[in-house]
Amino acid sequence: MTINDKQLQHYRDHGYVIIENFLTPTELSKARDEVEDFIPGWLDYTANPRLPKPLNWDETPRSRRQMRFPFKGEQLNAVTLHPEMRRLASLMVGHDDLFCEQSDLTYKCKGHYADQDQPMHLDYVNHTLVYPPKDPSYWQTAFLVYYTDVDLHQAPTAVCSWQHYHDEILWPAAYTKEDRPGLYDAEVKVTVPAGSLLAYSMRTFHRGTRFLEEAARVGHFITYAPSAYRWLGILGWPEQGVYKSFSEWMSRATPAERELIGFPQPGDPYWTSETLAGVAARYPEMDLGPYT
């Protein structure tokens, strides 16, 4: 379906938007056929959790590399490159020069390793080497497409409008409920029918929640980024950003060494008082003198 102006405005105002029934019935049904081929049994189990769980449901995590684009078949790949998702991301960033930096299938059930009450977090730690500024020309847009219904007991994503934290340097990038209960009090649970879409930004706090009963959920993470900036994208070095060893290396490296893995050079227009403060917060040991 077409994303309407009210939905686009909601994204601008809140840093996310929920679009129910985004996929057409045909797109959804074709995507589900491919999901069934990829992870047999999961959709039947989702429809009827009294059935035994799918074979190897609790196998050790598969690598992201086995779960990502390109998929066998056509529809999951077509969803990855959906023109309406591209249009939303283009409108936010102000041009159409984008690259798709992520397309990962995600599935979990009660008791699965991914069945967790996540802390409220921002996704930028493994989507950029630096910090996501307020300037929209740097905006990455993340999408979560749901291939199964998501009710309250089916581990809905929770998301918190950026109106609650828009004017601060966004570090730390995660908070427990004890540390910052306000983010949790203001969260919205994304309960939607299969075929729906959540769009959110790298500046938008959100979290996965636990299953409350026997159930499963299948979805698809897709992210677009402006193509001009080599420090963006989960497929490159930013993917390592969640590891302490990576931050330690980044902090020790010289500007020339950092530049070789895609970090913005001294003098790049990326550097502003905001991004200097954001990167200093993220990498407190880094000498930012050369970038000032």
Q: Choose the stretch contacting Fe ion; rule: CB under 5 A; options: 120-128, 149-157, 190-198, 268-276.
A: 120-128
Q: Which is nearer to Fe ion, 109 or 198 (CB)?
A: 198
Instruction: Name the segment binding Fe ion (CB under 5 A); options: 61-69, 90-98, 118-126, 220-228.
Output: 118-126
Q: How far is the CB of 206 from Fe ion (least distance, A)?
A: 6
Q: Tell me how far, at minimum, the Cβ of 221 lies from Fe ion, in Å.
A: 9
Q: How far apart are CA 260 and CA 199, in angstroms?
A: 32
**242 token code pair:** 């969640």
DSSP string, the chain: -PPPHHHHHHHHHHSEEEETT-S-HHHHHHHHHHHHHHSTTHHHHHH-TTSPPPTTTTPPPPPGGGSBSSPSSSHHHHHHT-HHHHHHHHHHHTSS-EEEEEEEEEEEETTSTT---PPEE-GGGGTBSS---S-GGG--EEEEEESS-B-TTB--EEEE-GGGTTTS---SSEE-TTT-HHHHHT-EE--B-TT-EEEEETT-EEEE--BSSS-EEEEEEEEEEETT-TTB-TTSGGGGGGSHHHHHHHHHS-HHHHHHTTPPPTT-TT--HHHHHHHHHH-TTS--GGG-
Beta carbon of residue 273, minimum distance to Fe ion (angstroms, whole number): 27
Residue closer to Fe ion (CB basis): 123 or 187:
123
Stretch that binds Fe ion, among 53-61, 116-124, 126-134, 231-239 (CB under 5 A): 116-124
Smallest distance from Fe ion to CB 282, Å? 16
- Compare residues 115 and 123 and give the one whose CB is closer to Fe ion: 123
Query: CA dihedral defined by 39, 45, 215, 67, rounded to 10 degrees?
Result: 0
Q: Which residues of 69-78 are buried (b: 16+ CB within 10 A; e: fewer)?
A: bebeeebbee
Beta carbon nearer to Fe ion, 176 or 292: 176
Nearest CB to Fe ion, comparing residues 34 and 123? 123
Number of residues that bind Fe ion (CB under 5 A): 1
Work out how close the CB of 199 gets to Fe ion at its nearest, in angstroms, rounded to a whole number. Answer: 13
Q: Which residue is nearest to Fe ion (CB)?
A: 123
Applying CB under 5 A, which part among 32-40, 67-75, 119-127, 161-169 lies near Fe ion? 119-127
Peptide bond into 132 cis (omega under 30): no
- In the window 236-265, what residues touch Fe ion (CB under 5 A)? none
How near is the Cβ of 118 to Fe ion at its closest, in Å? 7
101 makes contact with Fe ion (CB under 5 A) = no
Beta carbon nearer to Fe ion, 7 or 106: 106
Nearer to Fe ion, 54 or 132 (CB): 132
CB closer to Fe ion, 183 vs 286: 183
* Residues within window 121-160 making contact with Fe ion, judged by CB under 5 A: 123
Least distance to Fe ion from the beta carbon of 105, Å? Answer: 15
Residues contributing to the site for Fe ion (CB under 5 A): 123
